[in-house]
């Protein structure tokens, strides 16, 4: 792999790429805002609105000693950052968090009973709580442009973003008041920072440590949103270890190896520090609290498999294909049988193009880092897939989209280069004697 990544692409037209990214963000805001206004209520939204009180406990009341921070379902099921985002947004708009709805009871009551007992947010609260999700969802789609830029240039980046924005699955998932939009935003940002920062660490560029700090903060915020974010530590550590070993073996450069290891360790330590710092439940016993969260997620998954057996995934043989099909619900054909028939070949073309670069020694470290992130998250989703809920595939959807965008770019370029030849053959006069 080449150690000098995408410098000609990113540095040469930085202002243009920033403008395109901003344009995609604004377009995504408009599209997702419209989507949010018409999307139906989901029961999990009531829970995130109800537990936005945790923002009040921590930030407004500065009370981390109350019973709500002890070991209970809400502190153990998922990290609290999404609750903070919702609570901060509603507080800024003038809502009293203590007067919001209570958590939804999906196992014992109908929607109407839950509404009568104050377990459903009012229409205005629900609409307001979706607004930060629209912002973060739009940011995650905009970040697909630079991610695709790293792999295959502007056409791949624009293709990845437009495929996401055209997908009913992506739009629906990113506008609801749950953890998917914050996770998508911070995960995409962390993957981009890892792709751009890793080569700088390997080359021992000045101030490369700033990229490690930024990566640690982004990955820490992703991990503080859902435990899935912690999986990002694996590709960061793997790339760091691999490059350090490469420096030591090929160049016998101990200093370079130490620099890469130090950069990786700094990013990982900051990510873990953020993960713990934003969650008072973990302050007293980080390891014990984390073990409790894993146990809660395991028990919750088993309960949901029993409650909704039509979504349960019990066998290992079906998991890879479910992950592939669930992760490729992008483009206007998403949520139809044609989505995989179109997007899987594009994914294969993108991977083939990257494999060709690797064979020729032209694959950049930045592209290699993104491939590592996509591969690790693919394995993690397959290994942990207990329920085939569509939104559980959002991390792999996000990380595979730049590769699909690259495949689309390759196909479009091939068509474009062959089009003049085909047209000239069709319009060439017939000189044969009649």
pLDDT tens digit sequence for 44-62: 999 999 999 999 999 999 9
pLDDT at 59: 96
Q: Is the pLDDT of residue 307 over 90?
A: no
pLDDT at 434 over 70: no
Q: Can you tell me the distance from the alpha carbon of 49 to that of 120, in angstroms, rounded to the nearest whole number?
A: 9
pTM: 0.93
Q: Would you give the DSSP letter of residue 177?
A: S
**Mean pLDDT to the nearest integer, 78-96:** 97
pLDDT at 425: 65
Q: And the tokens for 123? A: 């229409």
pLDDT band, residue 4 (cuts 50/70/90): very low
For the chain, helix, strand, coil in percent to 5 are 75, 0, 25
Average pLDDT over residues 319-338: 95
Cβ within 8 Å of residue 56, ≥6 positions away: 87, 91, 97, 98
What pLDDT was estimated at residue 417?
87
Q: For residue 122, what are its two tokens? A: 């009012």
Across the range 24-38, mean pLDDT stands at: 97
Q: Pick the residue with more confidence: 8 or 67?
A: 67
How much is the pLDDT for 45? 97
Rg for the chain, CA atoms, rounded: 23
For the chain, first and last CA: distance in Å? 59
Cβ neighbours for 22, distance < 8 A, ≥ 6 positions apart: 142
The residue ranking higher by pLDDT, 13 or 2, is 13
pLDDT in tens, 123-142: 999 999 999 999 999 999 99
Q: What pLDDT does 8 receive? A: 47
- Average pLDDT, stretch 293-318? 91
What average pLDDT does the segment 18-34 reach? 97
Q: What is the DSSP string of 296-356?
A: HHHHHHHHHHHH-GGGB---STTHHHHHHHHHT--STTTTSTHHHHHHHHHHHHHHHHHHH
Domain ranges of the chain: 7-281+293-416
How far from 341 is each of 30, 286, 336, CA to CA, in Å?
29, 45, 10
Residue 428 has pLDDT above 70, yes or no: no
Average pLDDT on 306-330 reads 93
Tokens of 148: 């695709």
Residue 171 has pLDDT above 70, yes or no: yes
Opening angle at CA 393, ends 387 and 394, nearest 5: 140
Mean pLDDT of the chain: 92
Is the pLDDT at 89 greater than 90? The verdict is: yes
- If we measure between CA atoms, which residue out of 271, 259, 278, 408 comes closest to residue 343? 408
Per-residue pLDDT of 240-283, as tens digits, reads 999 988 887 776 678 888 889 999 999 999 999 999 999 999 99
Burial of 185 (0-12, 13-18, 19+ CB in 10 A): buried
Give the pLDDT mean for 344-356.
97
């Amino acid at each position: 792999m080449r150690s000098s990544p995408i410098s000609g692409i990113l540095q040469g037209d930085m202002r243009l790429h920033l403008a395109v990214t901003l344009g995609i963000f604004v377009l995504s805001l408009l599209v997702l805002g419209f989507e949010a206004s018409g999307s139906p209520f989901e029961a999990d939204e009531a829970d995130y609105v109800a537990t936005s009180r945790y923002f009040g406990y921590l930030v407004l009341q500065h009370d981390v000693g109350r019973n709500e921070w002890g070991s209970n379902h809400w502190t153990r099921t998922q990290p609290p950052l999404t609750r903070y985002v919702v609570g901060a947004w509603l507080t800024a708009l003038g809502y009293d968090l203590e007067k919001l709805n209570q958590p939804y009871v999906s196992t014992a009551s109908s929607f109407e009973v839950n509404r009568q007992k104050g377990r459903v947010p009012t229409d205005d609260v629900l609409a307001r709580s979706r607004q930060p999700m629209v912002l973060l969802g739009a940011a995650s789609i905009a970040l697909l442009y630079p991610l695709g830029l790293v792999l295959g240039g502007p056409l791949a980046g624009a293709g990845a973003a437009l495929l996401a924005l055209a997908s009913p699955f992506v739009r629906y998932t990113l506008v609801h008041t749950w953890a998917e939009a914050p996770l998508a935003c911070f995960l995409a940002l962390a993957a981009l920072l890892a792709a751009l920062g890793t080569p700088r660490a390997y080359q021992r560029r000045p101030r490369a440590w700033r990229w490690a700090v930024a990566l640690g903060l982004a990955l820490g915020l992703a991990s503080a949103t859902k435990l899935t974010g912690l999986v990002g530590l694996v590709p960061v550590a793997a790339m760091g270890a691999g490059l350090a070993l490469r420096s030591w073996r090929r160049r016998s450069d101990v200093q370079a190896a130490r620099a890469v290891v130090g950069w990786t360790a700094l990013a990982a330590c900051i990510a873990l520090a953020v993960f713990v710092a934003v969650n008072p439940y973990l302050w007293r016993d980080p390891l014990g609290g984390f073990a409790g969260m894993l146990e809660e997620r395991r028990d919750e998954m088993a309960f949901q498999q029993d409650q909704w057996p039509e979504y349960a995934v019990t066998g290992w043989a079906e998991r890879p294909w479910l992950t592939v099909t669930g992760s490729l619900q992008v483009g206007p054909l998403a949520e139809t049988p044609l989505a995989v028939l179109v997007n899987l070949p594009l994914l294969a073309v993108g991977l083939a193009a990257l494999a060709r670069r690797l064979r020729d020694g032209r694959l950049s470290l930045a592209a290699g880092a993104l491939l590592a992130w996509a591969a690790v998250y693919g394995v993690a989703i397959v290994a942990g897939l207990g329920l085939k809920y569509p939104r559980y595939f959002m991390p792999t959807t996000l990380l595979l989209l730049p590769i699909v965008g690259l495949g689309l770019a390759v196909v479009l370029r091939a068509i474009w280069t062959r089009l003049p030849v085909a047209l000239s053959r069709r319009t060439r006069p017939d000189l044969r004697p009649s």
